[in-house]
Amino acid sequence: MRRLPPKKVSNQKKTQNTLLVDGNALYKRGFIGAKDVYNSKGKPVGGVYQFLTVLRKLLEDNLYHKVFVFWDGEFSGKMRWEVYKDYKIGRGKDYINGTKPEDPSEIIQKMIIYNYLEELYIRQLMDDVVEGDDLIAYYCNIKNDNEKITIATSDRDLAQLINDDVRIWMLDLKTYVTKSNFNKYFKYHLENAALMKIMCGDNSDSIKGIKRLGENTLIKHFPKITETKVDVDYIVNEAKKLQSDRISLKKKPLQILTNISESITDGIQGEEIYKINEILVDLSKPLLTDNVIKDMDNLINLPLSNDRSIKKVYQMLKKDGLDKIIGEYRFDDFLLPFKKIIEREKKNNLK
């Protein structure tokens, strides 16, 4: 189901800083990077340690009033798969039977992290069929006018959400990408982020684009993409004009211009490629269910229960053997950055 969410209404004038974490992106980097980290009992805990370490660093560096972590569920992406059956086929996704992780410790560590975050007053949501990207996009689309958002991810798809009030902490680059420095990291105009994927596809998600069309080729023939916002109709009409001009000058027609103007692709989308790809990649219209919208609105607006304890987290860290990995000199202070979030969330409960 696809619908535009209503705008949140803000009764506060003071700027609120919110951190939205792409849980799967952060966890995947930590899990792979610390795959060989084990506790004294021989159980892998590197993914847990790295996740908490990066998150605490983000909280240590900036003042946030609320923190959200959004996860992909077992069948996340199914709504896109129902539109395009090759969606994420390159990752071995099975939207009928589910996909088991290659390493059984992966799902175990993810659930350990989930339990830690619950105790630390981190707001989080995981849905079976809705992707974390759509949850993040939904939040950004309904943000308060006085709200500044930081997204922690390594997913370039989310770059289309960047604006005056939304920036991204790129986990792989270890830097902030903002509206002002966007062109340092991307070759096209900020408002063409979705267009690039509609035209060229997205190999990481097995989404085919126009046949033989890559980002550099698109920019070469349509340099306006680097300067201002354009749409598919502009590209298609300009391709027809460029081809007509070549023919009038008795130059050889370019097949790539024909592919663009006639919607030719190697993908299963056929002539509907532009329409289908827009559904798949455009995060201004996230794919959500009615139940998820209700869950998101509750998660955003309702206070968290007070039956949580940072002391319990210290006990959990010891039980999982992470106290030894953290080190005795750092252990007592390891969760200090989270205490600020806990204090703010407890104040929210009193309002």
- Digit-by-digit pLDDT tens for the chain (351 residues) are 555 555 554 455 689 999 999 999 999 988 887 888 888 888 989 999 999 999 999 999 999 999 999 999 989 999 999 999 999 988 877 787 766 555 677 888 999 999 999 999 999 999 999 999 999 999 999 999 999 999 999 999 999 999 999 999 999 999 999 999 999 999 999 999 999 999 999 999 999 999 999 999 999 999 999 999 999 999 999 999 999 999 999 999 999 999 999 999 999 999 999 999 999 999 999 999 999 999 999 999 999 988 899 999 999 999 999 999 999 889 999 999 999 999 999 887 766
The SS3 assignment for 288 reads coil
What single-letter DSSP state applies at residue 125?
Answer: E
Task: Show the tokens assigned to 54.
Answer: 């990066």
The pLDDT assigned to 312 comes to: 95
What distance in Å separates the CA atoms of residue 287 and residue 275, rounded to the nearest whole number? 15
Q: Cα(256)–Cα(262) distance, rounded to whole angstroms?
A: 10
Bridging pattern class, strands 16-22 and 66-72: parallel
Domains of the chain by start residue, with CATH: 16-187+285-350 (3.40.50.1010), 190-281 (1.10.150)
pLDDT of 8 reads 54
Q: In sequence order, what are the residues at sequence separation of 6 or more whose Cβ sits closer than 8 angstroms to the Cβ of residue 277?
A: 197, 198, 199, 201, 207, 209, 269
Which residue in 276, 296, 282, 264 sits closest to 82, CA to CA?
Answer: 276
**Closest to 256 (Cα-Cα) out of 245, 240, 234:** 240
| Chain centre to alpha carbon of residue 15 | 23
Rg (alpha carbons) of the chain, rounded to whole number: 22
Asked if residue 51 lies in contact with residue 76, where contact means CB atoms within 8 angstroms, the answer is no
Burial status of residue 172 (CB atoms within 10 A of its CB: 0-12, 13-18, 19 or more): exposed
Taking a C-beta distance cutoff of 8 angstroms, is the pair 45, 324 a contact? Answer: no
Across the chain, the runs of DSSP E, i.e. the strands, are 16-22, 66-72, 123-127, 147-153, 166-170, 175-177, 201-202, 207-208
